[in-house]
Amino acid sequence: MRYWMALLTKGSIWAVLASGTAVAQRKVDAGNMYERMMCVVPVVGKGTMDDPRRPLFASLPVRKGPPTRDGILAFSWVPSDDGKFALVEFVARDRAAFRGGAAANRPDVRVFHKGRNSRAEIETEFRRYRRSFSMDQLRTILP
């Protein structure tokens, strides 16, 4: 009997310790979830309802059907000072979504990966296109 009481007491201590560490864990900031790529890309589109002005590699809004979780999930952007370029944050579930489009070797596209490139490095490059740029302007949050 004492053996079981000793095990129960030790087990209870471990349960208390394990539950304490689980409660202490912090949630991941929504701005750091998923794969994120920061880019300088040309602005495309005629500015009409059928062809709105948008960053290169940014898809048109889906009008029918449920949204998909493949490819680029979301993006946010600000125009450059001259309006010819877009400073964009693309968000995807995995890095494979960036291989085809935005990671293409084009002379007019600059690509940075959030977490791999430093904030200072990204802001320095983006400020060449928009003087008052801050990374806080591009905050794409997904549920």
Return all residues near 133 (Cβ < 8 A) that are at least 6 apart.
78, 87, 123, 126, 127
Domain boundaries, the chain: 30-137
Comparing CA positions, the residue from 114, 121, 46, 128 lying closest to residue 80 is 128
Q: What are phi and psi of 76, to 5 degrees?
A: -135, 150
Element containing residue 73 per DSSP (H, E)? strand 72-79
pTM of the model: 0.70
How many Cβ atoms sit within 10 Å of the Cβ of residue 14?
9
| Ordered per-residue pLDDT tens for the chain, 143 residues | 555 555 555 555 555 555 555 566 777 655 566 788 899 999 999 989 888 999 988 877 666 666 666 777 888 999 999 999 999 998 888 877 766 654 567 888 899 988 889 999 999 999 999 999 988 888 877 76
Chain centroid to Cα 142, Å, comes to: 8
DSSP 8-class letter at 57: T
